[in-house]
Amino acid sequence: GFGFAGICGVFWEFWEFTCDTFANLNLQRYQTLAGVPYVGRAALMDTLGDLAVNTIGAILIAIYSYIQAHGSGDYFIIYRIIKSKHGKPENDDYLAL
């Protein structure tokens, strides 16, 4: 899950870069509202801020999942999806959607 969150953050930055390149949307905040480009560290603040928040969120969810998994032995079993060839399983051990 942590790696997936990291990859999502990277793809988001690719999306921002693509929109900035082709549509000049300034999603990465690389220039001021007047159109003057930032130089050096100021130009990287949005990208690094996004990746930092992404990492912090992934760490918090990983900690929460760890605590839940060790506090309750069936934490991950509750959310599993059972594939059935004959429709609804006989017992109540399934995820109702």
Mean pLDDT of all residues in 80-88? 66
Contact between residue 46 and residue 91 where contact means Cβ atoms under 8 Å apart:
no
**Phi, psi dihedrals of residue 31, rounded to the nearest 5°:** -145, 160
The pLDDT value given to residue 94: 56
33-43 pLDDT tens trace: 888 888 888 88
The helix-helix angle for 41-71 and 2-23 (nearest 10°) equals 150
Q: What is the pLDDT of residue 22?
A: 92
- The pLDDT-based confidence of 32 (bands split at 50, 70, 90) is confident
Q: Which residue has the higher pLDDT, 10 or 73?
A: 10
pLDDT greater than 70 at residue 87: no
Residues 6 or more apart whose Cβ sits within 8 Å of residue 43? 30, 37
Q: How confident is the model at residue 56 (pLDDT cuts 50, 70, 90)?
A: very high
